[in-house]
Amino acid sequence: MSSYDFDLVFIGGGPGGYVAAIRASQLGLRVAVVEKDKVGGVCLNIGCIPSKALIDRASKFNALHELVAYGVKADLKAFDYGAVHSFSRKAAEKLSKGVEFLLKKNEVETISGTARLIGAHEISINLNAGGERRISSFAVVVATGSRPREVPGFEFDEKRVLSSTGVLMLKKLPRRLAILGAGAIGMEFAFIMNAFGVEVTVVEMLERILPMEDAAAAAVVGKAFERRGVKFLVGTKAFALDRGSTDGSPLVLSLGPAGSASPDTRLEADAVLVSIGRSPNTAGLGLEELGVRLDRSFVEVGDFYETSAFGLYAIGDIVKGEPQLAHVASAQGEIVAEHVASLLGKQAAGTDPRGSLGHRRVDLGLVPSAVYCEPQVAGFGSREEVLKASGVHFNSASFPFRGVGKAVAIDEAEGFVKILTDPATGAILSAFAVGPEATELIHELLLAKSAELLPQDIFSMIHAHPTLSEAVKEAALSVEGRAIHT
Amino acid sequence: MSSYDFDLVFIGGGPGGYVAAIRASQLGLRVAVVEKDKVGGVCLNIGCIPSKALIDRASKFNALHELVAYGVKADLKAFDYGAVHSFSRKAAEKLSKGVEFLLKKNEVETISGTARLIGAHEISINLNAGGERRISSFAVVVATGSRPREVPGFEFDEKRVLSSTGVLMLKKLPRRLAILGAGAIGMEFAFIMNAFGVEVTVVEMLERILPMEDAAAAAVVGKAFERRGVKFLVGTKAFALDRGSTDGSPLVLSLGPAGSASPDTRLEADAVLVSIGRSPNTAGLGLEELGVRLDRSFVEVGDFYETSAFGLYAIGDIVKGEPQLAHVASAQGEIVAEHVASLLGKQAAGTDPRGSLGHRRVDLGLVPSAVYCEPQVAGFGSREEVLKASGVHFNSASFPFRGVGKAVAIDEAEGFVKILTDPATGAILSAFAVGPEATELIHELLLAKSAELLPQDIFSMIHAHPTLSEAVKEAALSVEGRAIHT
């Protein structure tokens, strides 16, 4: 036990801070979380969770069209998007209350306020209830997360020019929505809004949608979206926004080819969602004063996510060079918690050195990515174009969902599961999936890679029939050219 | 290559026969499948596949009730169950055609007719097109499957007294359906029929529903079904059925406590589904004449599923002592195919001895079970009561879906994932799941067990957030008492 007020303090109670705080408490540390808003952070309150609630409702709305084929008449005149919105808020609130409870149960002190570092071991907190509180801690973890990135000319007003936060707070739907950025967030909202009847146009600077995902997977999603009426403008830059003279005037976006100097077309919309990335929240924390090295506002970290200031750690969306994902933040936080516990001579009973304890950094080759629109997209490891660019040899084997009985039975037979292997050793390098429940199916493949199993270990295992997981088995069989259903 | 017409002939083109036939052909054998009906067998044509199509539609119907909360008015007056039925038939037909194509592509000869063994290597086929054809084969595999078991007094008329086949062929729904047997099939149809507005009563002789599944999982399903209006009569025997004087009269079932000698209550219904098990199709094949040992119509097999008649094999639902599951039949068939290929000196390039090749029998501890109603149920390994009865020590750790963000966001937070481990070694013994996508999630756990990984290997792996697979990670953490969200 240290002579400080706390052993470990997290600035920020998102999926980085709160998960790691619980882990640290399990390890016997005295822990606090400073949070200026709601625990659970962006992810839980204004990110992953409410958006998944909306996606689920959107999916059920899309199913209405199928039911019409069976004579069901659906009357949407009285449809109230406000009620859908309210459902998503309730899910978020329930989980945020749950996190509050978990922190309390684990004896983590939650301090409501805005923190500023006044030393590597000392924090001044501007309490939400008023006044200042100073606390000291053996180690401090900055886990302040990120906010939607703004584009000049498209500054958020959160009424018509929306960030992901603003679009989640809408209680009424716009008639026409333009979305800047065809990454995970842009595509998830394109799915949601399209399902609820909004005319959606997605504008992407790069040459394809979902540029961080497998290209073939992105193409499957693009085709499905276009069939539902979503319009894509790729290789297209949004130059300027004319907000009109009143709130009632339509927004007018000036668009043009990504490489050109000026726009050549106009797009009218009633609202625009700008989802082109997220900026780290590292200003005003006192990081520079403590000598913490930043690179374009991201924090540079070393082993165990320690910053250049001794005893000061950084995790989550503010970390330079690691993906801005909730599950990465949690994993980083657990590494810090277990490291700090070991510095203080604590180690959980039963903790095996093969656990997160002992890891110095998250293995980025084992981080799953997931896009939750339908069809879903998921993957891990380097994409084909990245491997090619680095001159890495690989075999690529994929299996289509149309060969999977369950997928055909539920009429969701688009997509595939793909496995990239090392031709020399047979080892799994990467895997990608697009289609029904892809974000769940990817975990079997990820476990195989993380335990250094071979495709053989997957296909030798009996998979329940009829399940979507059979696509994973068949993809593994495809690596050896012996799939059954293709 | 043998001097027979074929190296390997399968009698029956279900998921046992057709999958193994393709595998055998991949291994370079000359293969035929004799099928008297449609390839794909019961599973594909009148079993798993069409029932999964119905379950999916039923699930979408249930979602209608949720949408009503958002002001959607659903008018079911013109609802035509016949169209739903037709959708399920189309899925089955598409896949059966697909299997036909796969067999042709793999150069497996499909012979339409009814086979009878006239020697261990010789088969007489009563061709569907008329006439007889005799073929000889180095090895013969009997893969004739099973049919719904009949109960005296409840003989199927397939109009009102239905087997699983008859209920799949209904184009109009009964008002009231009694279901005898609360196993997987009974519960899946209870789910389907309830969703489409049928009054369902499930009668089960044993003391609980889903008697072959984890007891706590079954309880979760029971609660969910009761909330939707399904009635259960457990510990109840159906003594007799009064079919009335005309087809228009209601059916009257005489029911009573399972242990008693006579009924004490009556249950009226418009149709009854009898789903109390399946009988093996082993009569009329000439098995007894060849000296094949049968036990109550099931075939006794040894290593590589060879029967007591040399060169004659049996797989699938007719095998004594192994579960009647499509994926078991396929796995058994692959073992036979690879064994016969090795007898004939063939071995697939790249086939590793750790593959199915080398296995003498399916490892029953690694066979997943799955029930596809909602909430779904899945599992593998011995159930708690079985372990207790055999005096095996175990630890049981489970994690509830209500602690999983994705489950809360999609409002399907009932259920849990449970892992049983060996207290001495930490090895995974069994796992059970009930809840959303349980039938998919089980595969990550099954891969862990089949590769002899520990719970640690599961929880050290980053799981995508927010996914249902996080329940698997948290269950693994629970084994060490360190779950985060509980």
* B64 chain-A contacts, CB cut-off 8 A: 64, 67, 72
Query: Within chain A, which residues score under 70 in pLDDT?
Result: 1, 348-358
* A362 chain-B contacts, CB cut-off 8 A: 462
Distance, CA of B143 to CA of B315 (rounded, Å)? 5
Q: Given this model, what pLDDT does residue A348 score?
A: 55
Residue appearing with tokens 């997931």: A370
Partner-chain contact A56 B362, CB within 8 Å: no
In chain B, pLDDT over 90 holds for what percent of residues? 93
Domain boundary, last residue among B318, B345, B364: B364
Q: Which helix (H) or strand (E) holds A227?
A: helix A215-227
**Residue pair B144/B240 in contact by the 8 Å Cβ criterion:** no
Q: Given this model, what pLDDT does residue A358 score?
A: 62
In a domain? residue A168: yes
* A450 chain-B contacts, CB cut-off 8 A: 457, 460-461
In a domain? residue B186: yes
Q: Given this model, what pLDDT does residue B348 score?
A: 55
CA atoms within 13 A on the CB side of A405: 28
Closest of B478, B163, B226, B274 to residue B375, by C-alpha: B226
Indicate if A347 and A239 belong to the same structural domain.
Answer: no
Residue appearing with tokens 């700008």: A274
pLDDT at B140 over 70: yes
Q: How many domains does chain A have?
A: 3
Indicate if A244 and A336 belong to the same structural domain.
Answer: no
Distance, CA of A339 to CA of A29 (rounded, Å)? 11
Query: Measured between CA atoms, how close is A401 to chain B, in angstroms?
Result: 12
Among chain B residues, CA nearest to A63 = B60
Indicate if A10 and A136 belong to the same structural domain.
Answer: yes
Domain boundary, last residue among B338, B364, B390: B364
Distance, CA of B483 to CA of A26 (rounded, Å)? 10
Please give the full DSSP string across B295-311, using - where no structure is assigned.
ETTEEP--GGGB-SSTT
Indicate if B354 and B387 belong to the same structural domain.
Answer: no
Query: Measured between CA atoms, how close is B431 to chain A, in angstroms?
Result: 14
Distance, CA of B117 to CA of B139 (rounded, Å)? 12
Distance, CA of A134 to CA of B172 (rounded, Å)? 72
Whole-prediction pTM value?
0.97
**Residue pair A199/A176 in contact by the 8 Å Cβ criterion:** yes
Partner-chain contact B52 A464, CB within 8 Å: no
Closest of B367, B373, B361, B388 to residue B434, by C-alpha: B373
* B80 chain-A contacts, CB cut-off 8 A: 70-71
Q: Given this model, what pLDDT does residue A354 score?
A: 41
Partner-chain contact B467 A443, CB within 8 Å: yes
Q: Given this model, what pLDDT does residue B359 score?
A: 84
B465 vs A48, A70, A450: nearest CB:
A48
In a domain? residue B40: yes
Partner-chain contact B457 A472, CB within 8 Å: no
Give exposure, A81-110, as e/b (b: 16+ Cβ within 10 Å).
beebbebbbebbbbbbebbbebbeebebbb
Indicate if B315 and B185 belong to the same structural domain.
Answer: no
CA atoms within 13 A on the CB side of B339: 21
Query: Measured between CA atoms, how close is B372 to chain A, in angstroms?
Result: 9
Indicate if A172 and A267 belong to the same structural domain.
Answer: yes
B56 vs A410, A444, A458: nearest CB:
A410
Partner-chain contact A91 B408, CB within 8 Å: yes
In a domain? residue B95: yes
SS3 B424: coil
Partner-chain contact B461 A448, CB within 8 Å: no
Percentages of chain A per state (helix, strand, coil), in multiples of 5: 35, 25, 40
User: CA distances (Å), B354 to each of A230, B357, B360, in order?
Assistant: 48, 7, 12
Q: Which of A65, A327, A465, A485 is catalytic?
A: A465
User: CA distances (Å), B311 to each of B275, B331, B342, in order?
Assistant: 34, 19, 13
Distance, CA of B128 to CA of A226 (rounded, Å)? 47
Task: Phi first, then psi: give them for residue A126, nearest 5 degrees.
Answer: -80, 100
**Residue pair A434/A379 in contact by the 8 Å Cβ criterion:** no
Please give the full DSSP string across B124-179, using - where no structure is assigned.
EEEETTSSEEEEEEEEEEE---EEEPP-TT----SSSEE-HHHHHH-SS--SEEEE
Indicate if A26 and A96 belong to the same structural domain.
Answer: yes
- Count, residues in chain A: 486
Distance, CA of A302 to CA of A284 (rounded, Å)? 22
Among chain B residues, CA nearest to A16 = B465
User: CA distances (Å), B279 to each of B17, B151, B462, in order?
Assistant: 18, 11, 45
Partner-chain contact B447 A442, CB within 8 Å: no
Any alpha helices (H) in A301-378, and if so which ranges? Answer: 326-343
Task: Phi first, then psi: give them for residue A316, nearest 5 degrees.
Answer: 85, -155
Range of the domain at B14: 6-45+88-147+279-364
pLDDT at B205 over 80: yes
Mean pLDDT of B361-383: 98
Partner-chain contact B102 A485, CB within 8 Å: yes
Query: Measured between CA atoms, how close is B366 to chain A, in angstroms?
Result: 7
User: CA distances (Å), A412 to each of A376, B90, B102, B441, in order?
Assistant: 11, 14, 21, 18
pLDDT at B352 over 60: no
Q: Given this model, what pLDDT does residue A81 score?
A: 97
Indicate if A235 and A250 belong to the same structural domain.
Answer: yes
* A458 chain-B contacts, CB cut-off 8 A: 447
Domain boundary, last residue among A343, A364, A385: A364
- Those residues whose C-beta lies under 8 Å from the C-beta of residue B389, and which sit 6 or more positions away, are none
Query: Measured between CA atoms, how close is B191 to chain A, in angstroms?
Result: 16
User: Testing the interface with B: which of A461, A474, A480 to mutate, by most B Cβ within 10 A?
Assistant: A461
SS3 B267: strand
User: Testing the interface with B: which of A48, A347, A443, A450 to mutate, by most B Cβ within 10 A?
Assistant: A443
Among chain B residues, CA nearest to A370 = B464
Residues facing A8 on adjacent strands: A31, A139
- Those residues whose C-beta lies under 8 Å from the C-beta of residue B346, and which sit 6 or more positions away, are B27, B28, B29
In a domain? residue A398: yes
Task: Phi first, then psi: give them for residue B3, nearest 5 degrees.
Answer: -90, 5
User: CA distances (Å), B93 to each of A30, B341, B455, in order?
Assistant: 63, 31, 42
Distance, CA of B481 to CA of B399 (rounded, Å)? 11
**CA A410, A411, A415, A417: dihedral to nearest 10 degrees?**
30
Task: Phi first, then psi: give them for residue B287, nearest 5 degrees.
Answer: -65, -45
SS3 B118: strand
CA atoms within 13 A on the CB side of B305: 36
**CATH number, domain containing residue B434:** 3.30.390.30
- Is residue B364 left, alpha or beta, with left meaning phi > 0 and alpha meaning psi from -120 to 50? alpha
Please give the full DSSP string across B319-376, using - where no structure is assigned.
BTTS---HHHHHHHHHHHHHHHHHHTT---TT--TTSSTT-SS--GGG--EEE-SSSE
- Those residues whose C-beta lies under 8 Å from the C-beta of residue B471, and which sit 6 or more positions away, are B399, B401, B403, B404, B407, B416, B417, B433, B435, B441
In a domain? residue B322: yes
In a domain? residue A296: yes
For residue B450, what pLDDT band results from cuts at 50, 70 and 90? Answer: very high
Indicate if A132 and A11 belong to the same structural domain.
Answer: yes
Residue appearing with tokens 């069809």: A375
Q: Given this model, what pLDDT does residue B354 score?
A: 41
Indicate if B344 and B234 belong to the same structural domain.
Answer: no
**CATH number, domain containing residue A93:** 3.50.50.60
Indicate if A140 and A96 belong to the same structural domain.
Answer: yes
Q: Given this model, what pLDDT does residue A355 score?
A: 44
Is B465 in the active site?
yes
Give exposure, A157-191, as e/b (b: 16+ Cβ within 10 Å).
eeebbbbbbbbbbbeebbebbbbbbbbbbbbbbbb
In a domain? residue B1: no
Give exposure, A329-354, as e/b (b: 16+ Cβ within 10 Å).
bbbbbbbbbbbbbeebebebeebeee
Indicate if B291 and B419 belong to the same structural domain.
Answer: no
